[in-house]
Amino acid sequence: MNMKQIIHQLIPQATVTCNESLQPYTYTRTGGPAEILIKPSTYEDIEKIVIFASSHKIPLTILGNGSNVIVRDGGIKGIVLLLTTLQEIKKEDDKIIAQAGVPIIEVSRYALDQGLTGLEFCCGVPGTVGGAIFMNAGCYGGEMRDVVESVLVINSEGVLQRLTNDMLEFDYRKSCISKHNYIVLEAVFQLRPGIKLEIERKMEELTRLREEKQPLEFPSCGSVFKRPPGHFAGQLIQESGLKGEMIGGVQVSTKHAGFMVNVNEGTATDYIRLIERVKTKVHEKFNISLEPEVRIIGESLEEQI
Ligand SMILES: Cc1cc2nc3c(=O)[nH]c(=O)nc-3n(C[C@H](O)[C@H](O)[C@H](O)COP(=O)(O)OP(=O)(O)OC[C@H]3O[C@@H](n4cnc5c(N)ncnc54)[C@H](O)[C@@H]3O)c2cc1C
């Protein structure tokens, strides 16, 4: 039996494919294939896969909406678990409980429908609940740390654990999820009763700001770099004369220099080379080292030869 057949026997309800391109699953629309791509439908499926992968020493990679990753053009070895199939969401008093694959935009809209305030800030962040917790996603003065009460995770031995806010070690664009290789299964958001009209107005205002400033008409991974202390990455890039700089089909956005947009069938290699060029030029001009916010994962094509 090959690996696909073994996995199918283990979790018959899940969708399993081999060598499927990950381009449609990433916001940059770049990257190579997943050796094995699994779309699990239950926590039990995930538990079985985690135990199977760890006992056979098969690398396991988690993907949400792919809005903060660049998958190298050689693709990802081992198993990729795509968690966008976990879509349940419910309300309990002033809390919202959402599974890892629910888009955080949907959670903020659901909060609006329920008249709950606190999640307006992330009404335009295109990630999933899992990716947002992993990254401590934030903008416009808010971040996940402010609204997450607890998170249900599975550890690399396949054991479920509930982590409270203080255990998540939230910091600027990070949490303890990566350090311990946890997989986020669901999150509980603690919100407050609010006035629907006010919540809606705030979301509309933030959406307007985003549409005005960000090149949302092209594939991208959002802000490529973290904010260096005391500076804005986009401004440093712009002042280094890099707006519109292009490698292959990927360009430093002419609308917002903190973004790199895929304007003409660019590849992950184009992205990575452009990131390196921008880092070098900004360092030469300002002596500041930009650190990517986007996660670069997988194998480069050369490594496969
Ligand atoms: C146009 C645009 C605008 C953006 N604006 C913002 C913004 O304002 N603020 C902001 O913070 N970010 C922003 N981002 C970046 C991105 O949307 C966030 O980082 C988001 O939280 C990533 O979620 P995701 O589901 O897409 O994660 P992915 O890109 O799929 O994964 C990101 C990382 O999280 C891990 N991961 C994903 N799901 C899980 C899980 N369930 N368990 C464990 N690990 C997991 C992955 O392994 C990977 O390392 C933007 C991106 C785009 C394209």
CATH number at residue 29: 3.30.43.10
Structural domain contains residue 191: yes
Q: How many degrees, rounded to 5, is the angle at CA 290 between CA 63 and CA 287?
A: 170
- DSSP assignment string, 165-224: GGGG--BTTB-TTTTTT-EEEEEEEE-EE--HHHHHHHHHHHHHHHHHHS-TTS-EEEE-
Structural domain contains residue 210: no
User: Which of 62, 85, 108 is a domain's end point?
Assistant: 85
Q: Judge if 128 and 172 occupy the same domain.
A: yes
User: Residue 26 carries which DSSP code?
Assistant: S
Alpha carbon of residue 148 to chain centroid: 17
Question: Any idea what the CATH number is for the domain that residue 129 is in?
Answer: 3.30.465.10
Q: Judge if 246 and 193 occupy the same domain.
A: no
Contact 33, 21 (CB under 8 A): yes
Q: Judge if 253 and 186 occupy the same domain.
A: no
- Domain span at 42: 3-85
Distance, in Å, from the CA atom of 84 to the CA atom of 103, rounded to the nearest integer, reads 8
Alpha carbon of 23 to ligand 1 centroid (Å): 16
Residue given tokens 């070098």 in the structure block: 280
Question: Any idea what the CATH number is for the domain that residue 228 is in?
Answer: 3.90.78.10
pLDDT score, position 2: 86
User: What distances in angstroms separate CA 62 from CA 120, 178, 221, one per listed residue?
Assistant: 26, 11, 17
Structural domain contains residue 221: yes
Domains in the chain: how many in total? 3
Contact 263, 269 (CB under 8 A): no
Q: Judge if 98 and 70 occupy the same domain.
A: no
User: Which of 54, 85, 116 is a domain's end point?
Assistant: 85
- Cβ atoms within 10 Å of 269's Cβ, excluding its own: 20
Structural domain contains residue 136: yes
User: Which of 85, 105, 123 is a domain's end point?
Assistant: 85
Q: Judge if 51 and 102 occupy the same domain.
A: no
What six digits make up the tokens of 189? 């958001």
**Beta strand segments in 225-298, E:** 246-247, 250-252, 259-262, 295-297
Amino acid at 86: L
Q: Judge if 81 and 104 occupy the same domain.
A: no
Which is the closest atom of ligand 1 to the Cα of 28? 53
Please name the helix (run of DSSP H) or strand (run of DSSP E) that holds residue 162, with its range, or none.
Answer: strand 160-164
Per annotation, catalytic residue among 223, 240, 245, 253 = 223
Contact 41, 9 (CB under 8 A): no
173 is catalytic: yes
- Cβ atoms within 10 Å of 135's Cβ, excluding its own: 25
pLDDT score, position 304: 60
Distance, in Å, from the CA atom of 275 to the CA atom of 224, rounded to the nearest integer, reads 8
Q: Judge if 102 and 180 occupy the same domain.
A: yes
pLDDT along the chain (305 residues), means of 10: 89 95 98 97 96 96 98 98 98 98 98 98 98 97 98 96 98 96 98 98 98 97 96 98 98 98 98 98 98 97 68
pLDDT score, position 305: 53
Structural domain contains residue 294: yes
Q: Judge if 26 and 69 occupy the same domain.
A: yes
Alpha carbon of 75 to ligand 1 centroid (Å): 19
Alpha carbon of residue 37 to chain centroid: 17
> Residues lining ligand 1, judged by CB closer than 6 Å?
27, 62-69, 83, 100, 125-128, 130-132, 134-135, 137-139, 177, 183-184, 214, 216, 220-222, 295
Structural domain contains residue 256: yes
> Which pTM does this prediction carry?
0.97
Closest CA to 13 of 60, 45, 56: 45
Structural domain contains residue 113: yes
Q: Judge if 94 and 195 occupy the same domain.
A: yes
Structural domain contains residue 208: no
Q: Judge if 9 and 32 occupy the same domain.
A: yes
Q: Which residues contact 37 (CB under 8 A, 6 or more apart)?
A: 16, 17, 18, 20, 22, 80, 82
Alpha carbon of 31 to ligand 1 centroid (Å): 16
